[in-house]
Structure 1
Amino acid sequence: MTFDVVVDISLRPGISDPEGATIERSCAALGFDGISDVAVGKTVRFTLDAADEAAARAEVEDLCNKFLTNPVIEEAEVRLAPSDSMAAAPAGAA
């Protein structure tokens, strides 16, 4: 099976986010009032072939721990769903 994977990576609670703080200050300086608690993260999207959803999730979590995140300061939220290959195929290409 092929899965569409989205990994949202953010800083763990209590870790300083200087980029978020800069954006928050800049918003106020530009007249965008009421913006607070700005946090900056990153999103990684990809497709993955795996036997089933459990195997896909285990592989993505291993990838996050070994490569995509720094587990000391970052955490990852993994979302995955089976790819719909028929929806991506051009009309008449079944």
Structure 2
Amino acid sequence: MMEISSAFASGFQGFQRASDAVTEATVNINQQAAQSSNQRALETPVESRTGPSMEQSLVTLGSEQINAEANLKSVKTADEMLGSIIDLRV
């Protein structure tokens, strides 16, 4: 039973980390798009950015989506195992 609780906790923690990373990547992409749009409207030269590039943020977004899906699968598997254990004991 302890392993199932641990699988739930790990899955939920992993999903939360992935969700936070997706949010951060999305914010970075939106900031970069807004900055780029403002620079084009004002016809100013492109300034150097201190954060991750748009490409890096898009890659992070995709990889964290996969990470979140994998963690949800581990939670689902733990849930199914718990259901099986309950069925066996009843």
What TM-score do you get using the length of structure 1 for normalisation?
Answer: 0.22
What TM-score do you get using the length of structure 2 for normalisation?
Answer: 0.23
Which of the two has greater helix per residue? 2
Which of the two has greater strand per residue? 1
